[in-house]
Structures are given as structure tokens and as C-alpha cells.
Amino acid sequence: MLRNQNNTPLFDALKAYHEKNVIPFDVPGHKHGKGIPEFAQFVGEKVLEIDVNSMKPLDNISNPISVIKEAEELMADAYCSDHAFFSVNGTTSAVQAMIMSVCQPGDKIILPRNAHKSATNALILSGALPVYIQPETNEKLGIAMGISLESVEMAIAKNSDAKAVFIINPTYYGATSDVKQIVKLAHKHGMAVLVDEAHGAHFPFHEELPMGAMELGADMAAVSLHKTGGSLSQSSALLLNEGLIDKNTVKTILNLTQTTSASYLLMASLDVARKMLVKQGEDVFYRILKITREARDEINRIEGLYAFGKELVGQPGVFNFDETKLSINVTGIGITGFEAYDLLRDEYNIQVELGDALNILAIVSVGDDEKSLNALIEALRDLSQKYRSNESVQIQYAKIVLENPQVIVSPRNAFYARKKFVKLEASEGEISGESIMAYPPGIPIVTPGERINREMIHYIKFLKSQHSMLTDTQDPYVENIKVLGI
């Protein structure tokens, strides 16, 4: 049954609550902002007046039966799925719920090694065993792309007892895999297909974008509406197609880790963003694609820069490409992506999504316009003139992209094992007891249970030299790393 996508049941209920001017003797304790007037004055009193707790008129995320349930049903329709669950713990919580809904301790799951840390942390929570498949790589750009159907086929042949195949669609840089054929292959062997679609929340809303995972037959997908769909940060949705996975199991798993004090600001923003995407998405993304294509062409006229895009389609690991990911290789002007990331922020007041050894990534979405893109183009033009040298930067990207690491101990067992600190430089050959990653993008260089090799150490030291934000280690400066042992 298709529902009226003009409706915003949760947002309407929240507005009705606000109009009643209820006297609150429940939480939150700021009582409609009166307890923190300085903050209320800055963000606006109305924002805090609708920052409320679960109650009968507003439903409850743990067991939705009225307005949240209606809003989730509208979300499911919007994404061509059977069910949708709101997530206020971000897509991290949704990814973890996907894996935990399918895998029990000791079960195998096939996944690419360039998965986000939410997936590797889900292995710890679920006790599942990773069967890593290597994504295709583009050596010129120094980045991982999608996974090939052949690599999935080989992994399934060697691990016919695996419970699921996990896919990233798209990658951070915009590459998609052949999800439809991977789904067909996995289902033939009774395996569920779980899709991290954090950066593809906009896919179903314009025909010139790649197709969404649920339309392609995936069993579950986690979508970050806050990334590319217009909702507030930390708000996402978990989508489910009936068949291999029970919806009540998913609900139970979500309730294990998701807060019982769900933000109505976040949930209402999901409700309104979904309406906007369905009713206006075609026009919005027609405009976004137009200005992004124009910007890509203009950037490619700047000496030393290469804004890659649809020309990559057909290369290994690139079944399709999301043009709203404005990825730019900067090595031709003689600086690293990390340096370009910092320079754009510090000298031009422009914040791009990420920088890596060779590239920067600007995400263009529903809130962008010609003015913002023109500012980026002018900054890049000035950057090229100021910093361009005669030699291109040649940096070996992390070998983790090229070779699967050795998994010696399961992530869960490594997480709970006894550990010791060793100097990073002296950790080669040890089994890691923790994860290390640069954020963004939050893809681990090493995870618990993997043997640390020389290339990992070299790359971590390079990241430190570039002042990258390294996370997840107990030592905040990553001088030491925890490894297994007494």
C-alpha cells in the first residue's frame, strides 16, 4: 500500500505538542530551554521547546505504535522497502544492527576490508568471523573502489557456510558495485545481503543517480539521511525487505544499543527530509547534478587537478559512479590531500569532507548551490597557483588497500583478551588489541585480532606526519598501541 508522502505524522505531532505550551515535569531537565538560557538564545528557543521526551502523543522509538510507526512506514515506501526503522544513533547503530540481526557468535560474514569501523565493531558485538574480500583499487588515485562479482563468488565458494555478504554502496569516493548481481549470487546460496548505504541516501530520488540497494533486492540497507538527504546529524534509517531476516529480530537488536531517550529533533528531521526527497528530489538532484558536473569540468581545467567521475565506470570496482561525490586528485600541484584539506579550511574558510594521501572529497548535496561551488572552484584555482610545483607528489598509499591483513584472532576474542602496550615502532608482528584509523573516513588501518605489519606502521606514521585525526586508540597520540599478551 502506497501512503501519502505529503504527510509528516511525527513532525505534525511535535508541532501540535509545541502549540499546547505544556508545563513539563518530565525530562529533559532544561525544561524547554529555560534551564540553559545562553544556549537557548543562540540556537533559538523553539528548538529547545521541541527537545522533549517520549510520551503517548509522540510515540516511543522502542515500540512505535502511532506517529513514529506511521513516519517509519512512509520512509519504507520512499525507499521501496518493506520496513524502515529510525536510528538516532546514526548509521553506525544501523550497520551494527544489520550484522547482529544475521550473525551469531562464530558465524561467518563476507565483507570488504575497507568497511567503516561500525562494521568491524559489529564483529566484536556479534562475535561474527570476518571473511575479507579485497576491493578493487585504482593505483593512480590511490583509493579503494567497489568489489567485483568475481571476488564475492570466490569468497562464497570457499565459505559456503557464511551467513551474509556485506557491501558498501557507494564507497566514500562514489564508486558502486554491481549490487543486483551480488544479491542474486548471495541469495542463490541462502546468504543475506547487507548494504552500508551511508553515502547513498539520495540514490532513489533521481534516475541519473545509481540505484538504491533496496530496489536492487538487498535484504537490509543502512542509509544516512543526514549525510546526503537533508536531515540532522546522527539521524539515519535502517531498511528491511522481508524474507531472510525477521523484522521483530531487527527491532529487538536495535533496542539493545539504541537510546531510550530518542531525540525528537532528529526523528522529526527524518520525517521532513523524507517528504522533501520524495516530493522534490527529482528537481533538487537535477539541479545538484547540473552544478556538480559544471564544477567538475571547471576544476579539470585547473592545472594539476583531476576531478574524477563517470569516466571511471567500467574500470575494476566501478559499476556506476555517484557524481555528487566531487573527488579531486591534487598530487599534480605538489601537495598531499591532507595538506589541501587543511589549506582549504585555514586559508579559504572551506571545509571539505576529507583529505587522504592523494585526494580531497567535497560532498555536494541538497543544501549546496552555485555560490558554494564557485567558492570552492576559486579556492582550488588559487591553491594551484600558490602551491603548484614542477613535480607531482608520489606517495604510496596504505598497503592495507592492496593486501588483506592476516586475521589471527577473531575481533571479539582479541577485544576481550589480555593486552599490553608496546611502542608503535616495535609492534611489527604483534597481534593488535585495538583499532587505529583516520577519521574521516573511519576505515580501520588495523583492527583487533589482525597481525600488525610494517606497511601499517609506515602508513600510521605518515598519517601522523600529516596531522590526521587518528582515533580509537587508548593512547591519544598513537605513540603506543595495545597488542595481545600479558
Q: Where in the chain is the domain with CATH 3.90.1150.150?
A: 280-387
Give the pLDDT score at 406. Answer: 87
Give the pLDDT score at 400. Answer: 46
Q: What is the pLDDT of residues 122-180, one digit of tens each?
A: 999 999 999 999 899 898 898 889 999 999 999 999 999 999 999 999 999 999 999 99
> Is this prediction's pTM over 0.85?
yes
Q: How large is the average pLDDT for residues 465-484?
A: 91
Fold classified for 54-277: Aspartate Aminotransferase; domain 2 (3.40.640)
Q: Where in the chain is the domain with CATH 3.40.640.10?
A: 54-277
Give the pLDDT score at 399. Answer: 43
**For residue 31, what pLDDT band results from cuts at 50, 70 and 90?**
very high
Confirm if 134 and 113 have CB atoms less than 8 A apart: yes
Confirm if 266 and 232 have CB atoms less than 8 A apart: yes
In this structure, of 1-10, 223-232, 348-357, 472-481, the range with the lowest mean pLDDT score is: 1-10
Q: What is the pLDDT of residues 233-256, one digit of tens each?
A: 999 999 999 999 999 999 999 999
Give the pLDDT score at 398. Answer: 41
Q: In angstroms, how far is CA 16 from the centroid of its own chain?
A: 34
Instruction: Give CATH for domain 399-484.
Output: 3.90.100.10
Q: In angstroms, how far is CA 19 from the centroid of its own chain?
A: 36
Strands 175-176 and 192-197: unpaired
The DSSP line for 218-273 is -SEEEE-HHHHTS--TT-EEEEE-SSSS-HHHHHHHHHHHS-SS--HHHHHHHHHH
3-state DSSP assignment of residue 130 = strand
Q: What is the pLDDT of residues 329-379, one digit of tens each?
A: 998 998 999 999 999 999 999 999 999 989 999 999 999 999 999 999 999
Q: What is the pLDDT of residues 192-214, one digit of tens each?
A: 999 999 999 999 999 999 999 99
The DSSP line for 405-418 is PPB-S-HHHHHHS-
Give the pLDDT score at 223. Answer: 98
Q: Rounded distance, CA 346 to CA 226, Å?
A: 25
Q: Rounded distance, CA 76 to CA 70, Å?
A: 10
Nearest to 203 by CA among 221, 191, 219, 190: 221
Domain 280-387 is found in CATH 3.90.1150.150: yes
326 membership: H or E segment, kind and range: strand 325-329
Give the pLDDT score at 71. Answer: 98
Q: Rounded distance, CA 429 to CA 455, Å?
A: 11
Instruction: Identify the DSSP state of 486.
Output: -
**For residue 404, what pLDDT band results from cuts at 50, 70 and 90?**
low
In 13-142, the DSSP E strands lie at 83-87, 108-112, 129-133, 137-138
Q: How large is the average pLDDT for residues 279-287?
A: 97
Calculate the average pLDDT of the chain: 93
Show the CA angle centred on residue 145, arms to residues 142 and 148, nearest 5°: 135
In sequence order, the β-bridge partners of residue 84 are: 239
Give the pLDDT score at 402. Answer: 44
Give the pLDDT score at 329. Answer: 95
In this structure, of 216-225, 363-372, 382-391, 397-406, the range with the lowest mean pLDDT score is: 397-406
Q: Rounded distance, CA 235 to CA 415, Å?
A: 28
Q: Number of helices (H) and strands (E) in the chain: give both, helices first.
A: 15, 20
Q: Rounded distance, CA 96 to CA 449, Å?
A: 19
Return the half-sphere exposure (C-beta side, CA atoms, 13 A cut-off) of residue 481. Answer: 32
Nearest to 410 by CA among 444, 437, 452, 450: 450
Give the pLDDT score at 203. Answer: 98
pLDDT-above-70 percentage for the chain: 96
Q: What is the pLDDT of residues 35-77, one digit of tens each?
A: 999 999 999 999 999 999 999 999 999 999 999 999 999 999 9
Q: Where in the chain is the domain with CATH 3.90.100.10?
A: 399-484
pLDDT at 401 > cutoff 70: no
Give the pLDDT score at 444. Answer: 86
SS (H, E, C) 159-198: CCCCCEEEEECCCCCCEECCHHHHHHHHHHCCCEEEEEEC
Q: What is the pLDDT of residues 71-111, one digit of tens each?
A: 999 999 999 999 999 999 999 999 999 999 999 999 999 99
For 347-385, give one letter per residue: b (16+ CB within 10 A) or e.
Answer: eeebebbbbbbbbbbbbbbbebeeeebeebbebbbebbe
pLDDT-above-90 percentage for the chain: 84
Q: How large is the average pLDDT for residues 422-451?
A: 90
Nearest to 379 by CA among 399, 395, 362: 362
